[in-house]
Amino acid sequence: RILNFLHANCKANPPFFSQSIFDLGIGTYDSIITVTPATPIIVAINLFAERRVSALPVVDDNGVVIDIYAKYDVINLARERSYNDLDKSVHEALIHRQEGFEGVQTCQRTDSLRKIFTQIVKAKVHRLVVVDPSGKVDGIVSLSDILSFLLGIAPA
Protein backbone atom coordinates (compact mmCIF):
# COMPACT_ATOMS: atom_id res chain seq x y z
CA ARG A 1 0.00 0.00 0.00
CA ILE A 2 1.62 3.14 -1.17
CA LEU A 3 0.24 6.24 0.47
CA ASN A 4 0.61 8.48 -2.49
CA PHE A 5 -1.73 11.04 -1.14
CA LEU A 6 0.27 11.64 2.00
CA HIS A 7 3.57 11.39 0.25
CA ALA A 8 2.57 13.98 -2.26
CA ASN A 9 0.71 16.39 -0.07
CA CYS A 10 2.11 16.32 3.39
CA LYS A 11 5.80 15.90 3.02
CA ALA A 12 7.30 18.57 5.16
CA ASN A 13 4.65 20.06 7.36
CA PRO A 14 1.10 18.93 6.82
CA PRO A 15 -1.51 21.60 7.46
CA PHE A 16 -3.50 19.48 9.93
CA PHE A 17 -0.63 19.76 12.36
CA SER A 18 -1.56 23.35 13.11
CA GLN A 19 -5.29 22.65 13.50
CA SER A 20 -6.91 22.14 16.87
CA ILE A 21 -7.56 18.60 18.07
CA PHE A 22 -11.24 19.37 18.46
CA ASP A 23 -11.58 20.61 14.88
CA LEU A 24 -9.74 17.52 13.66
CA GLY A 25 -12.20 15.35 15.58
CA ILE A 26 -9.44 13.87 17.74
CA GLY A 27 -10.54 12.82 21.22
CA THR A 28 -13.71 12.11 23.18
CA TYR A 29 -15.75 15.10 24.31
CA ASP A 30 -18.87 13.63 25.87
CA SER A 31 -19.74 10.99 28.46
CA ILE A 32 -16.30 11.22 30.03
CA ILE A 33 -16.07 8.71 32.83
CA THR A 34 -14.55 10.24 35.95
CA VAL A 35 -13.98 9.31 39.58
CA THR A 36 -13.61 11.38 42.75
CA PRO A 37 -10.89 11.00 45.38
CA ALA A 38 -13.41 9.09 47.50
CA THR A 39 -14.27 6.49 44.84
CA PRO A 40 -13.30 2.98 46.01
CA ILE A 41 -10.63 1.32 43.90
CA ILE A 42 -12.85 -1.66 43.20
CA VAL A 43 -15.26 0.71 41.45
CA ALA A 44 -12.42 2.11 39.35
CA ILE A 45 -11.27 -1.39 38.40
CA ASN A 46 -14.83 -2.22 37.35
CA LEU A 47 -14.92 0.89 35.17
CA PHE A 48 -11.64 -0.11 33.48
CA ALA A 49 -13.09 -3.52 32.71
CA GLU A 50 -16.65 -2.58 31.71
CA ARG A 51 -16.11 0.69 29.91
CA ARG A 52 -12.82 -0.33 28.28
CA VAL A 53 -10.96 2.84 29.15
CA SER A 54 -7.39 2.90 30.39
CA ALA A 55 -7.54 5.92 32.70
CA LEU A 56 -10.04 7.91 34.74
CA PRO A 57 -9.72 11.65 35.48
CA VAL A 58 -10.08 12.34 39.22
CA VAL A 59 -12.29 15.40 39.75
CA ASP A 60 -13.28 17.48 42.76
CA ASP A 61 -16.85 18.51 43.66
CA ASN A 62 -16.82 21.18 40.96
CA GLY A 63 -15.69 18.85 38.19
CA VAL A 64 -12.20 20.33 38.21
CA VAL A 65 -9.49 17.81 37.30
CA ILE A 66 -7.10 17.20 40.18
CA ASP A 67 -5.48 13.90 39.25
CA ILE A 68 -5.74 10.82 37.05
CA TYR A 69 -6.09 7.15 37.96
CA ALA A 70 -4.79 4.75 35.31
CA LYS A 71 -4.85 0.99 34.92
CA TYR A 72 -1.18 1.03 35.60
CA ASP A 73 -1.70 2.49 39.07
CA VAL A 74 -3.57 -0.62 40.13
CA ILE A 75 -0.39 -2.58 39.65
CA ASN A 76 1.41 -0.44 42.18
CA LEU A 77 -1.39 -1.13 44.61
CA ALA A 78 -0.94 -4.83 44.13
CA ARG A 79 2.79 -4.50 44.56
CA GLU A 80 2.34 -2.85 47.92
CA ARG A 81 0.28 -5.85 48.96
CA SER A 82 -2.77 -3.68 49.30
CA TYR A 83 -4.72 -5.94 46.98
CA ASN A 84 -6.50 -7.09 50.08
CA ASP A 85 -8.01 -3.65 50.36
CA LEU A 86 -9.83 -2.87 47.15
CA ASP A 87 -12.38 -0.78 49.03
CA LYS A 88 -9.60 1.70 49.77
CA SER A 89 -10.23 5.02 47.98
CA VAL A 90 -8.54 6.33 44.86
CA HIS A 91 -7.11 9.12 47.00
CA GLU A 92 -5.44 6.69 49.39
CA ALA A 93 -4.10 4.66 46.49
CA LEU A 94 -2.52 7.66 44.81
CA ILE A 95 -0.75 8.97 47.92
CA HIS A 96 1.88 6.30 47.47
CA ARG A 97 2.52 7.05 43.85
CA GLN A 98 6.15 6.94 42.92
CA GLU A 99 8.15 10.10 42.90
CA GLY A 100 8.61 11.68 39.55
CA PHE A 101 4.89 12.21 39.07
CA GLU A 102 4.48 15.76 37.90
CA GLY A 103 0.74 16.10 38.13
CA VAL A 104 -1.98 15.23 35.67
CA GLN A 105 -1.22 16.27 32.09
CA THR A 106 -3.96 18.44 30.65
CA CYS A 107 -4.61 20.34 27.43
CA GLN A 108 -7.43 22.36 25.87
CA ARG A 109 -9.60 21.45 22.90
CA THR A 110 -8.23 24.46 21.04
CA ASP A 111 -4.63 23.17 21.28
CA SER A 112 -3.00 22.22 17.99
CA LEU A 113 -2.20 18.63 17.12
CA ARG A 114 1.47 19.60 17.08
CA LYS A 115 1.29 20.83 20.66
CA ILE A 116 -0.46 17.64 21.78
CA PHE A 117 2.18 15.43 20.17
CA THR A 118 5.00 17.32 21.82
CA GLN A 119 3.33 17.19 25.21
CA ILE A 120 2.55 13.46 25.03
CA VAL A 121 6.11 12.63 24.06
CA LYS A 122 7.71 14.93 26.62
CA ALA A 123 5.53 13.77 29.49
CA LYS A 124 5.66 10.12 28.32
CA VAL A 125 1.94 9.67 28.94
CA HIS A 126 -0.70 7.74 27.04
CA ARG A 127 -3.43 10.38 27.17
CA LEU A 128 -4.14 14.00 28.11
CA VAL A 129 -7.22 15.19 29.96
CA VAL A 130 -8.87 17.99 27.99
CA VAL A 131 -10.01 20.79 30.32
CA ASP A 132 -11.93 24.02 29.82
CA PRO A 133 -10.38 27.33 30.92
CA SER A 134 -11.74 26.83 34.46
CA GLY A 135 -10.02 23.45 34.75
CA LYS A 136 -13.17 21.34 34.42
CA VAL A 137 -13.08 18.09 32.43
CA ASP A 138 -13.93 18.72 28.82
CA GLY A 139 -12.68 15.51 27.23
CA ILE A 140 -9.89 12.97 26.81
CA VAL A 141 -7.39 12.60 24.00
CA SER A 142 -5.63 9.23 24.03
CA LEU A 143 -3.16 7.36 21.85
CA SER A 144 -6.12 5.42 20.43
CA ASP A 145 -7.72 8.64 19.22
CA ILE A 146 -4.55 9.81 17.51
CA LEU A 147 -4.11 6.43 15.81
CA SER A 148 -7.69 6.51 14.56
CA PHE A 149 -7.02 9.92 13.12
CA LEU A 150 -3.85 8.70 11.36
CA LEU A 151 -5.86 5.80 9.93
CA GLY A 152 -8.52 8.19 8.75
CA ILE A 153 -6.13 10.34 6.75
CA ALA A 154 -4.33 7.37 5.20
CA PRO A 155 -6.10 6.43 1.96
CA ALA A 156 -6.51 2.66 1.66
List interacting residues with ligand AMP (CB under 6 A): 27-28, 31-33, 53-56, 127, 140, 142-145
The site string for a second copy over 92-111 (x = CB under 8 A, - otherwise) reads --------------------
Residues 95 and 6 sit within 8 Å (Cβ to Cβ):
no
Choose between 93 and 127: whose C-beta lies nearer to ligand AMP. 127
Q: Which does 64 bind (CB under 5 to 8 A by kind): a second copy, ligand AMP, none?
A: none
Q: Which does 97 bind (CB under 5 to 8 A by kind): a second copy, ligand AMP, none?
A: none
Burial of 140 (0-12, 13-18, 19+ CB in 10 A): buried
Locate the DSSP E strands across 21-132. 55-59, 65-70, 106-107, 127-131
d(CA 129, CA 37) in angstroms, rounded, equals 16
The site string for a second copy over 118-137 (x = CB under 8 A, - otherwise) reads x-xx----x-----------
Minimum separation from the CB atom of position 85 to ligand AMP (A): 23
CB atoms within 10 A of CB 142: 20
Minimum separation from the CB atom of position 139 to a second copy (A): 18
SS3 41: helix
